A = this chain, B = another copy of it.
Amino acid sequence: MSAVRTPPTASTSARRDAEATKAAILRSARYLLARHAHADITLKAVAERAGVSPPLILKYFGNKDALFARVMSFEADAEALLDAPLHELGRHMVRHVLESQSERGADPLLRIAFAPLHGEQGDILRANFRAQVTERLAERLTGPDTGLRAELAVGTLLGLGVMYGIARGPHMRASTLDTLVERYAPVVQAQLTP
């Protein structure tokens, strides 16, 4: 590999701008969904908060419902979270949660912790979380009580994310990723392959 880094071309930087804009639109939709009923949020409000025009949102996401579905889906994150053979899935999931937090400053899985307890948005998030995360994990398990074990395994991961990202435990923060994986992976794996 060459040590010389070429400057980004015009097309690279355009792609970066597009990604940053999409991220701003998703953040805006997420912000408004956490505070208002689905039906009360206009495309114009999402656009204004993101600092873009409504047609740009249509260009990137198709329509309002498609945008909201994207915000409330765990599909893409579950794909990455579950992408390892079962016997090392505990390690992989712990590493994935901690890397999401430490490198990207966000853990998409944790959106379930903020799901409103009442109303449509919370119910959609809960239904998606079950279908896309816990039930999908349960299908990979064998032995008794696969559904319960999957929920408890995912529970341990959510707790890891809350403790690291929100409570910001200073001892966790001062530990290396490898130390945390070493200590916590067995906790998760015990539910997967007891």
Contacts and interface: CB of A to CB of B under 8 A. Distances in A.
A190 B166 CA distance: 23
Contacts of A156: 155-156, 159, 187
- Integer count of this chain's copies in the complex: 2
Interface residues of A, number: 42
Given A113-B162, A159-B162, A160-B155, A129 B167 contact: yes
A169 B117 contact: no
Interface in A161-186: 161-164, 166-172, 175, 179, 183-184, 186
Interface stretch (A16-24, A44-52, A58-66, A145-153): A145-153
A112 interface: yes
